Amino acid sequence: MREALASIRFLDLQPEAMRLPSLPGQPILGDRGESLSSVLKAICESETKKRDLIAWMRQLTPVDVTGLETGLHPTRSSLLSEFIEGQTRDARR
């Protein structure tokens, strides 16, 4: 029990940090939400986990999320993620 409590992380999520492009291959979310795109890409490598994430987003928000795309930033070698609601929603907004 003590070990489980010792491993708990308390995050101070900040939207600005979560919107920043992240380097590929970083599967752990930073304390402020850094590397979110990389973490989402890692989750979405499993089609089951991707489906579960999209279903959870539908329950969490009033937006009818239908998909998630993660790709390289056009001018850098970093990742950006976009949730899709019928049309593409830019994660940087």
Read off the tokens for 20.
Answer: 């920043």
Query: How far is it, in rounded angstroms, from Cα 77 to Cα 63?
Result: 29
Query: How far is it, in rounded angstroms, from Cα 68 to Cα 82?
Result: 6
2: confidence class by pLDDT, cuts 50, 70, 90: confident
Q: Where are the domains of the chain?
A: 2-88
Whether 54 and 40 have beta carbons less than 8 Å apart is answered as: no
The string of DSSP letters for 67-90 reads EEEEEE-SSSS-EEEEEEESEE--
Cα 43 vs. chain centroid, distance in angstroms? 8
Quote the crossing angle between the two packed helices 47-60 and 36-43, to the nearest 10°.
120
Model pTM?
A: 0.75
85: confidence class by pLDDT, cuts 50, 70, 90: confident
Checking if the pLDDT of 35 tops 90, the result is yes
